[in-house]
Amino acid sequence: MDAGEITRIRDQFHGGQWPQFLERLDINGLRGWQGQAIQFKFPVVAIVGENGAGKSTVLKVAATAYEKSEESGYYPSDFFLDTHWDTLEGIELGYQIRLGDQVQGFKIRKPTKRWSFPERRYKRRVFWFDVARTLPLDATAGYARVARLAAGEISTEALSNEFRSHLSYILGREYQNARFAAPDVNVNRAVGLLQREYGEISQFHQGAGEDTSLDLMRALQEVPNNSLVIIDEVEASLHPKAQRRLINFLIKLSRLRRLQIIVSTHSPYVLEELPAEARILLLPTADGPSVLYGASPEFALTKLDEIVHPEAFVYVEDRSAEIWVREILVCHPDGAVVMSRIKISPVGPANVVAMMGKLAEEGKLPQAGIGVLDGDQQEAQGCIKLPGEDAPERVVFLGLRDNNWAGLHERFGVGAGDLHTYLEDALLSPDFHRWPSLVGDRILKSATSVWEIMVTEWCRVCLTDDGRDLFVHAIKRALPD
């Protein structure tokens, strides 16, 4: 993740520098949606979820938010049409958009056969890139004839030097030139060509990633300021490094042109390049999709019923909480048995933990589960809290300090005097999340290793039997009978 670029675009976005922005969608009566809302909280947002979770529905509903014009835009009927097998009715789509300092809300409905629109709709350029863009050129309608019969070019259009450089950066290779040629057999069927050190190669023979990315760069260089750009399966045909670079490029392009960009993805590499507020997980339930904001990339792309088959999930915020929960459990006489029946899953910030705990308690998930919130969070349905009334690092560090740092010097293999100095120095930092890494830097251990040792020692000297038993029994109650 490019932290500097993320900070710049976040600051500018919160400063109100996007004059047009789609803030919210409400979807009711369409493909299992029952009034759930999607809020967009960042200029570049990724929708993630398993197949059939509703990602494409969100993208298509977003694409219909603005008035269709000759230049761009879509009607709901472009995406959601009646067929011999499907009758769509009772649909209500709600939108909230920002226009400068004004916020407008409106609805589009399909009570029976016809779509009805508000008296006034708002204009904005909308660009839609679906998965069809990944189809190889030689398999695209009309291009087989071009490949067989073309004997020359009527005209050629070069990709700008700026966007050719972006293409080179994303794919990790230098292109001397990039252009689109109109063949003499059909001027409307332009063929993209890339020039490398060994010569020029057409899209008929380019790699899938080159083919897809070249077309995308050509389209994006023409996108005007303040537009809405929607890309389905943004990672298609790209290797991990190229996926990361493409998302970083889109973030920068969004900032420079004040674009709003919504993508769907199944890729952890895409999600890792985006801040928490830019990740939206759609989780299928019996009552339609549940919408979770800020889910960790690992959780967002892990099916709950694959590879391992625990009897219950324990949802925690992050790896630090996972380690602490595990150490509390193994201190209990039944800990080994409980650990064999559960999976501890870091899912992201407290709101995601709370949502997962609530869904589990209401029986809306495939597996039983319970949420475990940090001690400084509010109580929530379906959740318990870690020991203490403070953040985990503060509870563990300060608890051990009150016990003269217990036996940490023996566990770390560092003299007590030096180690205690390192620990006390770490406490001077106002950022308690960094305390384990600050200690690790001094004793040449990773932050994870430091934290594991410290929570193990905390459980030995600070955790009471009553506190341990209450915590473990709460998790045991989440297990099926």
Residues 143, 149: Cα–Cα separation, whole Å: 10
Alpha-carbon distance 227 to 19, whole Å?
A: 10
Which pLDDT value is given to residue 304? 47
Q: Answer whether 370's CB lies under 8 Å from 315's CB.
A: yes
Report residue 117 as tokens: 């629109």
Tally of CA atoms within 13 A in the half-sphere of 336 that contains its CB: 1
Instruction: Give me the pLDDT at residue 2, please.
Output: 81
* Per-residue pLDDT, 455: 94
For residue 38, list its beta bridge partners: 25
- The confidence score (pLDDT) of residue 141 equals 59
Query: Which tokens belong to 349?
Result: 């910030």
Give the pLDDT of residue 341: 87
What DSSP string runs through 156-207? EEEPPHHHHHHHHHHHTS--SEEEEEEETT-TTS-EEEEEETTEEEETTTS-
Reported pTM? 0.77
pLDDT at 425: 95
Instruction: Give the pLDDT of residue 54.
Output: 86
Q: Which domains does the chain have, with CATH numbers?
A: 3-125+225-281 (3.40.50.300), 135-220 (no CATH), 303-387+465-478 (3.40.50), 392-461 (no CATH)
**Chunked in runs of 10, what are the mean pLDDT values of the chain (481 residues)?**
89 92 93 90 92 88 89 86 84 93 92 89 90 65 63 78 91 88 74 83 78 88 93 88 94 95 91 92 83 82 60 91 93 88 90 92 87 93 93 94 92 91 94 94 92 94 92 90 73
Q: Of 23, 25, 31, 59, whose CA–CA distance to 284 is shortest?
A: 31
